[in-house]
Chain A
Amino acid sequence: MSTAAGAMTPELEFFCVGLNHETSPLEIRDALVLSDEEVGRAIRALRERAGASEALVISTCNRTEVYARGAELPNPPAFVAALLQEIKGLDLIGSGKSYLYTYREPDSIRHLFRVACGLDSQILGEPQITGQVKDSLTLAGKLGGSGPVMERLLDAALRCAKRARTETGIGRGPVSSAYAAVNLATKVLGSLADKKVLLIGAGEMAGLAACHFMEAGVAQFMVANRSKERAEKLGATIAARAISLEAIPVALPGADIVVSATSSNEPVVREAMVRNAMKIRKNRPLLFLDLAVPRDVEPQVSKLPNVFVHDLDALGQLVAQSLAQRRAEVPKVEAIIESEMARFLRWHRSLAVKPTVTAFRTHFEDIAKEELDRHRGRFRPEDHAALEALVHGIVQKLLHRPTTRLSRADDESEGIARVDAVRDLFGIGQEDSDADRDAR
């Protein structure tokens, strides 16, 4: 990165090369998911062969991204493509399609913050990515990839994600049918901790819904399925009792939530069955979540008092509402990202200011010392101490205001230009630039 601020502006030289669900198909993303060991290889290559001072790899099922700082590369995407080919054996360039995107700062920083906040996720605002970013930093730390700047940058990204979750609605509402089912159940029944769930069907959808209900605190499950074997298989994973479809009328009064997801062409739950169950359960609310197509629950069931029936259309409506709500929150999250970016860049600029202030002071103190040594012989030995104190006092007074202003330079928009001007005016030169670079 080069800025108008001039030669002494700290160079972050931070780039990101990667691919995600928007730029590549699932089979490519799947093929590029890196194990911890492969991430280690990538980080080593970036440090040793590309000269990066710090490197980080985020690899999930929806993205593989390489972040590096200080790398001396004429063509980062070509390097990363070659590296991924070397590790995973997948030729991203030879295929003729452009899957990789490249960001250089400040866009690379903005992109990392967007990723951490879930703005770049397939499901807008999904929370898992924040944990994945954190895990990537931990891994980079273990593998020697991260340093002070990268750690500070990731801290800023994670703080940004936390703010986005607490200050905006980017993570609110269900964004999948299975999760919408849990959301709806909570809306009707309140806490689910003491509720019983009857799963009708033992397929993928029923299993997914069971997982979400377990996460919501449900501890008691029953699984009814045509094939007892499959019911028992699912039952074993969620500590549920397996029953046959014929036993549903017996199990129904004891359930509070019924999740139905069979492939049956005929309704599995009949109105008479539910009417009887409601009598036995003294009319306590009963919720049906019908995730099957065609529907498993007879339409007349929804007319019974205190019986709530919701099908995939209703759940889809909830998901659509949540996504629309989350989209409306994006500008608020972007504002947080900009403010956190500004904060990080300010900190980074301050890295250049501190050595300049030190060099500026040393420059004046050296002149004072030289002059004192040159003229020391003209004064009586008993006056030397007073003379040194006088000169030191004058230097301190002369330097007070400029050093104070310089120390605050990282907080001000023209601060970096001021730092450059001071270095230029007082000849604080190349030898200090090298020291600055070392300090960073």
Chain B
Amino acid sequence: MQPLIPLLTTTLPALYALSVAAYGRAYADETSSGGRWGPVALRVAVLLHVIYLSARGVTEGHLPLASAYDFLSATALSLAAVYIYLELRQGVRTTGIFVLPLVFLMQVISSAYGNTVPARQPPLFPFWFELHTMTAVLGYGAFFVSAIYGVLFLLLYREIKANRLSFFFRRMPPLETLGRMNVSAASAGLVLLGLAILMGIGWARLAHVELARDPKTWLTVGAWVLLGFAVLAYHRLGWRGPRAVYASLAGFTTLLLSRVVTDLFVRSFHTWR
């Protein structure tokens, strides 16, 4: 397993770069071959990414989430996986170019600055705490993708309202589909983050950690409630259009804020070292 890690560390950014190029071509020209081999390159990249993180886990003896660079790599995988899920569900390939450059960037930073062959270390936390972290990271990725589709929705909404029927208008899927992609990704994020919150609360009780004073916990729960409301409003209240998207974007902003506050302004067990 160990010799695989340096190889995959360099291969992954290259494969994501290839995917970005292919999806870029598919966006620029619907008839180009990019639309065919882009998804193939991306699926291979995601598969190798899973192998990479698994190899890291086996080598290090715990889930590879020990640093901010690891966090970036796991978020990149989450973004790519959620994107593939949405692409398969909606059959839309022209929006990949708005998600995959972020995946590429995150993986490049992680590959460039992360420790490529870490030594085996004792587990940092109990396994299911690590699972809490992993599900949370996957949830962040899903919300990130949801936010991207939210922004795309708003841009297309404005274009159509203003009768500016530009290239962007022609290349985007229907407005209704973008709204559905925004909510689908948010729903996936809601489930994953919900599980993460439950596991976190359980762990805190067992480890006697005081959550009441942890701003990250409160902000995350607040964001989850906001996002939950946005998803519920879409499904139950029939909210469509910018109002539903603004609600989900507010939830994502709160989630982002919780991360920034934790990393920059307070010290807690949630702070990445």
Contact = CB atoms under 8 A, between A and B. Distances in A.
A259 to B, nearest CB: 17
Interface string B1-45: 000000000000000000000000000001100000000000000
Q: Considering residues B172, B176, B239, B243, which has the most beta carbons from chain A within 10 angstroms of its beta carbon?
A: B176
Interface stretch (B137-145, B159-167, B184-192, B213-221): B159-167
A283 B241 contact: yes
Contacts of B237: 282
B209 to A, nearest CB: 44
A284 interface: yes
Interface residues of A, number: 25
Q: Considering residues A187, A188, A321, which has the most beta carbons from chain B within 10 angstroms of its beta carbon?
A: A187
A339 interface: no
A323 to B, nearest CB: 13
A131 interface: no
Interface string B222-261: 0000000000000001111111000000000000000000
Interface string A85-126: 000000000000000000000000000000000000000000
Interface in A149-202: 167-169, 172-173, 184, 186-190
A53 interface: no
A285 B173 CA distance: 16
A283 B243 CA distance: 10
B170 interface: yes
A187 B169 contact: yes
Interface stretch (A241-249, A261-269, A300-308, A360-368): A300-308
A187 B160 contact: yes
B174 A187 contact: yes
Contacts of B148: none
Nearest to A325: B170
Interface in A251-292: 282-285
A188 B180 CA distance: 12
Q: Considering residues B31, B180, B239, which has the most beta carbons from chain A within 10 angstroms of its beta carbon?
A: B31
Contacts, number: 58
Interface stretch (A63-71, A74-82, A310-318, A413-421): A310-318
B177 A190 contact: yes
Contacts of A173: 170
Interface of B is mostly: loop
Interface in A217-242: none
Nearest to B172: A187
B241 A305 contact: yes
Given A318-B165, A321-B165, A285 B176 contact: yes
Contacts of A186: 174
Contacts of A308: 160-161
A306 B31 contact: no
Contacts of B163: 310, 313-314, 317
A284 B240 contact: yes
B174 A306 contact: no
B175 interface: yes
Contacts of A317: 163, 165
Interface residues of B, number: 22
Contacts of A184: 160
A404 B169 CA distance: 57
Contact of B161 (A172, A190, A283, A302): A302
Interface in A355-378: none
B162 to A, nearest CB: 9
Contacts of A313: 163
Contact of B30 (A169, A189, A282): A169
Q: Considering residues B170, B237, B243, which has the most beta carbons from chain A within 10 angstroms of its beta carbon?
A: B170
A168 B30 CA distance: 9
A184 to B, nearest CB: 8
B31 A169 contact: yes
A284 B244 CA distance: 11
A285 B179 CA distance: 12
A282 B31 contact: no
Interface string A307-344: 01010011001100100000000000000000000000
Nearest to B180: A190
A317 B164 CA distance: 9
Contacts of A284: 238, 240
Contacts of B161: 302, 308
Contacts of A282: 237-239
Contacts of B174: 186-190
B159 to A, nearest CB: 10
B177 A285 contact: no
A6 to B, nearest CB: 42
A164 to B, nearest CB: 11
Contacts of B240: 283-285, 306
A285 B239 CA distance: 10
Contacts of A168: 31
Contacts of A318: 165
CB-based closest 7 A-B pairs: A190-B176, A190-B174, A306-B241, A314-B163, A282-B238, A188-B175, A190-B177
25 contacts: A168-B31, A169-B31, A172-B30, A186-B174, A187-B175, A188-B176, A189-B174, A189-B176, A190-B177, A282-B237, A282-B238, A283-B240, A283-B243, A285-B175, A285-B241, A302-B161, A305-B241, A305-B242, A306-B242, A308-B160, A308-B161, A313-B163, A314-B165, A317-B163, A321-B165
Interface of A: 167-169, 172-173, 184, 186-190, 282-285, 302, 305-306, 308, 310, 313-314, 317-318, 321
Given A186-B174, A190-B177, 17 more contacts: A169-B30, A173-B170, A187-B174, A189-B175, A190-B174, A190-B180, A282-B238, A282-B239, A283-B238, A283-B243, A284-B240, A285-B175, A305-B241, A306-B241, A310-B163, A314-B163, A317-B165
